[in-house]
């Protein structure tokens, strides 16, 4: 649906607020510590697709607006074993992406990382988190869901897992929307090939070019929910990935000096708050999931 009344907008904002509260509670109860977001840094997620740079010149120093806190999560794990952050991300997406209804040039992701964790462990955590959040919304926002005409089904864990290679053979690439349209419960896509992902997701030591990563895909055509995986943490392997992806080491000098000192093995993920709100509230377009949305290409947004 598209929002038509202020009452509907209030209902969505209450649901979004419940999502943020319930997710934070779920993680705190499991000994996660919430850290404050970083918005400016010489290093940020290179992402796999092109966006406008988001560069800020500060006394000649090339700072960037955060695209994801992946590197800060890894470095922060030296201090805290389990952490999360409601992290504002600025990804100045090209205008063509507006038509998908699920991109914003500024959004918030719930980004988390766990020291010494495996992909299976963070998959289980993700399932628990999504189910807990949906249950909280159904229990506490029943009036809001009714007003929006949303009949939200609560999935049961474990969710189905499908491999990237099989789905690419079935639908072609990219396939998240086509796959999502066939699903009636969230499902994991695992084992992305190296060519479609960033250098920090860990390559399976036994299967070159296959990553130990995953996406969660929502049902009913709502598309991608979450991305994450196990991480590369050893200097030689990271340098090798940079070389193979033709990324100059100088771009990540600040990160590499931390890696040289040592960062822990880890796994984690980030789940988009507006996309989760869109799915929970049953919204056609992501701009209805928050106030002050920045739709790709819209330069009049405030």
Q: Provide the binding-site residues for ligand ASN, judged by CB under 6 A.
A: 45, 68, 70, 109, 111, 227-228, 268-270
Do the strands 33-34 and 82-90 form a parallel or antiparallel pair, or are they unpaired?
Answer: parallel
Task: Using the minimum distance from each CB to ligand ASN, give the nearer residue, 26 or 269.
Answer: 269
Task: Using the minimum distance from each CB to ligand ASN, give the nearer residue, 1 or 40.
Answer: 40
25: its two tokens: 């509670």
209: its two tokens: 């070019």
Give me the least distance between CB of 199 and ligand ASN, in Å please. 12
Degrees to nearest 5, angle at CA 227 with 224 and 91 = 80
Give me the least distance between CB of 11 and ligand ASN, in Å please. 28
Task: Using the minimum distance from each CB to ligand ASN, give the nearer residue, 79 or 299.
Answer: 79
Cα distance between residue 276 and residue 222, in whole Å: 9
Give me the least distance between CB of 3 and ligand ASN, in Å please. 27
Cα distance between residue 17 and residue 63, in whole Å: 31
CB-based contacts of 115, cutoff 8 Å, min separation 6: 77, 81, 82, 264, 265, 266
Task: Using the minimum distance from each CB to ligand ASN, give the nearer residue, 84 or 279.
Answer: 84
The residue length of the chain stands at 302
Give me the least distance between CB of 111 and ligand ASN, in Å please. 5
203: its two tokens: 């390559």
Give me the least distance between CB of 91 and ligand ASN, in Å please. 9
Task: Using the minimum distance from each CB to ligand ASN, give the nearer residue, 15 or 226.
Answer: 226
Is the separation of the CB atoms in 286 and 104 below 8 Å? yes
Nearest residue by C-beta to ligand ASN? 270
């Amino acid at each position: 649906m598209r929002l038509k009344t202020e009452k509907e907008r209030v209902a969505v904002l209450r649901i979004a607020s419940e999502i943020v509260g319930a997710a934070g509670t779920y993680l705190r109860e499991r000994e996660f510590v919430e850290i404050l977001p970083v918005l400016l840094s010489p290093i940020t997620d290179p992402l796999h697709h092109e966006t406008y740079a988001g560069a800020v010149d500060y006394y000649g120093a090339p700072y960037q607006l955060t695209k994801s806190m992946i590197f800060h999560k890894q470095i922060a794990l030296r201090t805290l074993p389990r952490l999360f952050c409601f992290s504002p991300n600025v990804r100045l997406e090209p205008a063509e992406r507006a038509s998908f209804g699920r991109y914003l040039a500024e959004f918030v992701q719930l980004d988390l990382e766990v020291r010494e964790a495996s992909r299976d462990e963070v998959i289980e955590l993700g399932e628990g988190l999504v189910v807990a959040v949906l249950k909280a919304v159904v229990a506490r926002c029943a009036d809001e869901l009714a007003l929006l005409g949303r009949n939200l089904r609560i999935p049961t864990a474990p969710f189905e897992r499908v491999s990237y290679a099989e789905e690419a053979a079935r639908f072609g690439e990219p396939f998240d929307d086509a796959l999502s349209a066939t699903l009636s419960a969230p499902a994991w896509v695992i084992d992305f090939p190296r060519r479609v992902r960033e250098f920090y997701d860990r390559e399976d030591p036994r299967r070159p070019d296959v990553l130990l990563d995953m996406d969660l895909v929502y049902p009913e055509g709502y598309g991608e929910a979450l991305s994450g995986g196990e991480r590369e943490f050893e200097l030689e392997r990271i340098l090798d990935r940079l070389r193979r992806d033709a990324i100059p080491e100088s771009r990540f000098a600040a990160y590499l000096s931390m890696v040289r000192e040592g960062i822990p093995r880890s796994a984690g993920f980030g789940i988009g708050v507006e996309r989760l709100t869109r799915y929970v509230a049953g919204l056609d377009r992501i701009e209805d999931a928050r106030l002050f949305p920045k739709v790709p290409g819209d330069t009049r947004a405030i």
